[in-house]
Structure 1
Amino acid sequence: MRTIYKICPASAWREAERRGAFHGSADDLRDGFIHFSTASQLAETARKHFFGQTGLFLIAVDAGALGSSLRWEPSRNDELFPHLYGELDLGAVTAILEMHARSDGFHDIPELKP
């Protein structure tokens, strides 16, 4: 199983749980796909897009469960990032972890599966 990760405001994730699927953040909806990161990409994603934000969850997802809707596409520094074209079925979620913001604005990233 290859695990990919989504950083998400806790309130948006609770709404996804209520609805039974995650449809994406405002940025995801604008771009037409749900942005994910691998374990090695996560710290930079958190710094670039979530610096200083609190109340975040880190959602671990089984990439294999997403089928052909998951595409690996070049993004930052031409590195391949996982993008989901469609909603995230909550059955593919393997863990929901809290991301703790530090006083310097960075986040403590939980120990992750590659």
Structure 2
Amino acid sequence: MLIYKIFHADEWAALQAAGETDGAPIDVSDGFVHFSTAEQAAETAAKHFASVEGLMLLACEGEAMGDALKWEVSRGGDLFPHLYRRLRMTDVLWSKPLPLLDGMHQFPEGME
């Protein structure tokens, strides 16, 4: 199952340069890297990244992360994927820009 991480452009650049990251400041603070499912990603963008330009959407294969990926109750009682190790470039299957159109982030078609 694909899971998704939203990064600011500078966070994405840092991951690319270093090959791994503890994540965004909220990830470091919480002690895990926050991810969303395809169904959760738009709400995550609206809640935490409203009107923010220059975002990148990263897709990762959740099963490949093994026991480091935990599904935990979060917003609205839904289970969210949380990664309890550094996110590695080798985890990223693809990345795409997350442009704004009329104040809403435009997600790629065909997200699982």
TM-score normalised by structure 2 residue count: 0.95
Runs of 4+ in structure 1 over 3 Å off: none
Is 1:110 the counterpart of 2:108? The answer is yes
Between Structure 1 and Structure 2, how many residues are aligned? Answer: 112
CA distance 1:82–1:112, shift in 2 (3 Å): farther
Match of 2:48, SS state, is: helix
CA shift, 1:99, in A, is: 0.3
* Residue deviations 1:47-85 (CA, integer Å, cap 9, x gap): 000010001000000111111110000001110000001
* Structure 1 CA distance for aligned equivalents of residues 79 and 49 of structure 2: 20
* Structure 2 CA distance for aligned equivalents of residues 34 and 112 of structure 1: 24
Q: What is the aligned-residue identity percentage?
A: 43
CA shift, 1:22, in A, is: 2.3
Q: Is the 8 A contact 1:52 1:106 kept in 2?
A: yes
Counterpart of 1:15 in structure 2: which amino acid?
A: A
Which consecutive residues of structure 1, in runs of 5 or more, have no partner in the other structure?
Answer: none
TM-score normalised by structure 1 residue count: 0.94
**2:63 equivalent in structure 1:** 64
Instruction: Output the aligned Cα RMSD.
Output: 1.0
CA distance 1:47–1:113, shift in 2 (3 Å): same
Counterpart of 1:5 in structure 2: which amino acid?
A: Y
* Structure 2 CA distance for aligned equivalents of residues 113 and 100 of structure 1: 15
